[in-house]
Amino acid sequence: MTQPDGAPVPSPVPAARPANAPPIPPHPLFLPEADEVVWAGRFPVQRVRFRFRRRDGTLSGPLTWELMRRGQGTVILPWDPVTDRIALIEQFRLPALAAGEEPRMTELPAGFVEAGEDPTETARRELAEETGLACTRLEPMGAFLLMQGASDERVHFQLAQVSLEAGPGEIGGLASENEETAVIVVEAAEAFAMVATNRIRNAPAALALLWLQVNHARLRAEWTR
């Protein structure tokens, strides 16, 4: 094809693949057929056509999945083992409203792990940004996938030892990101009851609180020596 002046029409230059949407890594169970980035926004979306190897060794039929690439994150549970209090936060969440939930969610400080950052560094940074608190100790609680049917997001859960005797400031969050996080301090027993009665509607917060409830007696004995 040529332009009106007779010059050839230049071929389109394919867009560079976003660094945070790499091809799916190889695996004996995974047989890719196509992998394209269909959205290159803050959280890229890939459309992947593939087959997987069944348990009997045969191949599945073709599947096409949309995959949101959210990367790694950190959730922090701020706990004062001396006063046995926990700092929760409340902030506005648009997806909660879209789901028909109360948009001002009760949850825990959290954030995305930046490139080259250790999850423990993320935990300390997000804790300070969203609550104004500093921790003296971090205990890993585990890493969990939040939406393995739709996203690669893997979240590192951290228990943070903090002092809640004087109480933190009322409002946190980064102004540059238009965040507003209200800090709420409750007794640990009340936080556990909030999970049991489904007043905590945020899955990562509920999971972290259940983990602390299981390990509560051991950790309080160890951390208050």
Residues with a known catalytic role: 177
The answer to whether 183 and 169 have CB atoms below 8 angstroms apart is yes
- Residue 162 structure tokens: 């903090």
Sequence-distant contacts of 180-184: CB under 8 A, at least 24 apart: 180/91, 180/92, 181/89, 181/90, 181/91, 181/109, 181/130, 181/131, 182/89, 182/90, 182/91, 183/87, 183/88, 183/89, 183/131, 183/132, 184/87, 184/88, 184/89, 184/90, 184/106
